[in-house]
Amino acid sequence: MEKPYVVDEGKIDGLSFVEVAGVGNFSVFKTFDCGQCFRFDPTGPRRGGYAVSGVALGRYVSFEQTDDGTLAVWGATADDFEKIWLSYLSLDTDYDAIDEAVTTALDPDGCAVMRRAAEAGRGIRILRQDPWEALCSFIVSQNNNIPRIKKIIAALCEKYGEDTADGSAKSFPTARALAEAGEDAIFALRTGFRAKYIVDAARRVADGEIDLDAVAREEDFPTCEAELMKIKGVGPKVADCALLFGFGKTEAYPVDVWMKKVAARHFASGPDPKLFGKYAGIAQQYLFYMERYVG
């Protein structure tokens, strides 16, 4: 796999940017439209194509992709791209090899379904989000829809987040900030029954009872799941979403109503996530995207 490379760097109206070529099968649209993160929204592209802007890893940033596939990262330098956004966007991962693996892992009928799913979802990359943000965000996501999830998270960030480096937005609140806020204050932000779960998670993480760095380092996946499920309100689906999108555990295979539809409509039995191995979560995203967005 050839590494993406910066083809241009500079500033326009005081805003730093880099243009990156060689990003392969990467789609800004699909990656930020598949429900894995909640702090980005479409914005007007500066050079045509498609763009999203939002906050990640404490920074306000825009990702823009032109029709020829070139990626522009606004609010970043070439050094930022190499040290932060290359990994965040999973552009350092060979998704062509992953596609080959997940489309040949099942029986012939299953492989036919996976080929359709991989084609539908081609361009999706699993973002490497902050572990605490991913955990808290998917606690908020329970029995919720994406517009409301975004509204709740925006309220949490506005109330308890810190200013980003450029002062243009708020970072995701720390576990300590939400723990100290308490359940009543979190409930007041219209989090509903999730308030007690958010605060329980925040207190356990802030006090070190649950070490998120240790979870990220742990290689035994069931151990990772069990650790997160110590938190009130965190079951297998929330734990698996957090592990997939925030801890780099691409073997996680979250099962929700959409994935149950996939199993019922497209497979005689299964599919068995274990057959996808360490790429089960990527296979899941392709199947989810095919079912929900392509139909």
CA–CA dist 59, 81 (Å, integer): 12
Which 3 state secondary structure label does DSSP give 16? strand
Q: Please provide residue 126's backbone torsions phi and psi, each rounded to the nearest 5 degrees.
A: -80, 115
Catalytic annotation present for 230: no
Listed in sequence order, the residues at least 6 apart from 216 whose beta carbon sits closer than 8 Å to its beta carbon are 131, 247, 248
Listed in sequence order, the residues at least 6 apart from 145 whose beta carbon sits closer than 8 Å to its beta carbon are none
CB 59 within 8 A of CB 94: no
Q: What pairs with residue 71 in β-bridges?
A: 20, 65
**Distances 287 to 58, 143, 146, 241, 243 between C-alpha atoms, Å:** 31, 21, 19, 15, 18
Query: How many other C-beta atoms lie within 10 A of the C-beta of residue 38?
Result: 23
Reading across the β-sheet that carries 59-65, which strands appear in turn?
5-12, 15-21, 71-74, 59-65, 50-56, 40-43
User: Which residue is catalytic, options 151, 159, 196, 237?
Assistant: 237
Q: What is the 3-state secondary structure (H, E, C) of 260-285?
A: HHHHHHHCCCCCCHHHHHHHHHHHHH
Q: How many residues are given for the chain?
A: 295
Listed in sequence order, the residues at least 6 apart from 150 whose beta carbon sits closer than 8 Å to its beta carbon are 38, 39, 41
Active site residues: 237
